[in-house]
Structure 1
Amino acid sequence: MVRRLRFNGTGSGVNGCPSVHEDLDTGEVIVHGPPLTDPEDIARLRHLGEGEVPVVVPRELLVDWGPKDVTRKAKVIDLDEFDRLFTRFEHTAWRLETRRRYASDEVTETYAQFTRGEPVDWDDQDSEWCANRRAQAALGKRVGRVRIVDDPPTAGQLYLLDNARRNSAVGERIMNLRRVDADRLNLPSEDFWIFDSRMVALLKFDDADNLVGVELITEPAEVVRYSMVRDAAMHHAVPFEEFTAGLAVKE
């Protein structure tokens, strides 16, 4: 069976060697780098089994990118504490949205209007959420997100493409990326926020697509990994206006 490998990081910004990968199913770690070839050095190694190849890696590679204690208890917060993160961040908040539907959208009046084919007046929205986004934007903070869209888009994704007009009006930068491109880039199928490039809020959903919890991740190597996902998504995504126009042309 082909391993589900995740690239953790590299000690080289040039050729990607040496590097560390992690098997997402077994937890095993794969390290690759230049082989140790001097016979005298190899002769001094203990317990080198047949077929094993010793490699040389800098200590920093394992310190920076080696998986940490997987038995450590996750820090889970409730949704009220999660909401408070949006007033406490200092500089940036960014989200990756990967799901095909969100149950919370479907109970709103705007969703009902949209599915009935009625125009939604997003300018008329003055919720606490909108007020918070405007307040943070007024303080010079930046909020953005990339939304993954299927081909063809789901009903929920089409709603969010329309909803992006509201997000943009209150100061968010909304971009979109096709699912096929996200898969090509090996982006994870996770929804998460990154706050100030130092903390990740990993969103947990139940089988009915309800947000039920949030796990906070502050381990530096993990935060960097999610930041790499953000950078890749931002590089390949396009503004929602351009993405929506492309869908209209395709139709």
Structure 2
Amino acid sequence: MPQSKQQLASFEELLSSAERSAVHLEMRDSYAVDYEKSGFAAWKAGRRLNPEDRASWWTPWLDLVSHTVARGVAIRRARIVSEPVSEYIRFEYSGTFKNVAAGEQVRWLPRRQASDIALPGNDFWLFDDRLVMFNHFTGEGDVTEFEHVEEQAVIKLCTTAFETVWERGTPHDKYQV
């Protein structure tokens, strides 16, 4: 059963407590999360981040990822995307170099190659094959809540889904939008 909101550990606590792995499966073609709105608007207006100017794009999130990877935790992110990709996915793709610079491994899988994969209904993070954090969104892409699940059947579904997507996915440096 999901834990109540008062009992949920924060994402930072979950990532900081991970010992071996943290994997993230993203399946939406657009998101409307508050912390990306200004960056997305700037990108649509033509602003692009310069990978050489690290000080202009390095954030506390990237510090957390970098420190976690330095502790020996593998962080992998897989994205299932429709093709041709949406404007939002082009934006996301253009900034993925930041995730990679922090130590994440990222792969992309065209949605048409995922038709035979049993996928959970929501994006998720899976920590050390012990806890799934589902991300719930509105139809417009705003976050509504997070749900933590420790049921073994759900963990197995998420593990199998992620590993299948990962195996089929194209590494970020080889994927083209």
Report SS of the residue matched to 1:108. Answer: helix
Match of 1:90 among 5, 19, 39: 19
Report the Cα distance in structure 1 between the residues aligned to 2:114 and 2:45, rounded to whole angstroms. Answer: 30
1:74 aligns with 2:6: no
Distance 1:231 1:80 in 2: 25
Structure 2: distance between partners of 1:170 and 1:141: 12
Q: Is the alpha carbon distance of 1:188 and 1:222 closer, same or farther for their aligned partners in structure 2, counting shifts above 3 Å?
A: closer
Structure 1-normalised TM-score?
0.63
* Separation (CA, whole Å) in 1 of partners of 2:117 and 2:153: 20
CA separation in 1, counterparts of 2:4 and 2:149?
9
2:37 aligned partner: 107
Q: Distance in 2 between matches of 1:133 and 1:181?
A: 29
User: Contact 1:191/1:202 (CA < 8 Å) preserved in 2?
Assistant: yes
How far, CA to CA, are the matches of 2:160 and 2:32 in structure 1?
Answer: 28
Report Cα offsets for 1:69-115 as digits up to 9, x if no partner: xxxx5224478723321212111100100011111264133x23321
* Residue aligned with 1:102, SS: coil
Specify which of 118, 129, 133 is matched with residue 47 of structure 2. 118
Describe the shift of the 1:224–1:188 C-alpha distance in structure 2 as closer, same or farther (beyond 3 A).
closer
1:218 equivalenced with 2:147 (yes/no):
no
Q: CA deviation at 1:209?
A: 1.2
Q: Secondary structure at the match of 1:161?
A: helix
Name the counterpart of 1:25: none
Q: 1:76 and 1:181, CA in 2 relative to 1: closer, same or farther beyond 3 A?
A: farther
Q: For residues 194-248 of structure 1, give each alpha carbon's deviation from its aligned partner in whole angstroms, at most 9, with x where no partner exists.
A: 000111111111233111211111111221111111111111001012112xx4x
Aligned CA distance change for structure 1 residues 157 and 88 (closer, same or farther; 3 Å)? same
Aligned to 2:61, the other structure's residue is in SS state helix
SS at match of 2:175: helix
Letter of the 1:229 partner, please give it: A
Which of 66, 89, 102 aligns to 1:157? It is 89
Aligned residue type for 2:164? A
After superposition, the CA RMSD in angstroms is: 1.9
Greater mean deviation of Cα atoms: 98-107 or 137-146: 98-107
Q: Which runs of 5+ in 2 are unaligned?
A: none
C-alpha contact (below 8 Å) 1:96/1:192 kept by paired residues: yes
Letter in 2 for 1:227: T
TM-score (normalizing by structure 2)? 0.88
Deviation for aligned residue 1:121: 2.4
Between 1 and 2, higher relative CO (CA 8 Å, sep ≥ 6) is seen in 2
**Cα distance in 1, alignment partners of residues 9 and 46 from structure 2:** 33
If you compute each CA radius of gyration, which structure gives the higher value, 1 or 2? 1
Sort the Cα spacing of 1:149 and 1:206 in 2 relative to 1 into closer, same or farther, 3 A.
same
Report if the CA contact (8 A) 1:82-1:214 is conserved: no
Which residue of structure 2 lines up, in the alignment, with residue 20 of structure 1?
none
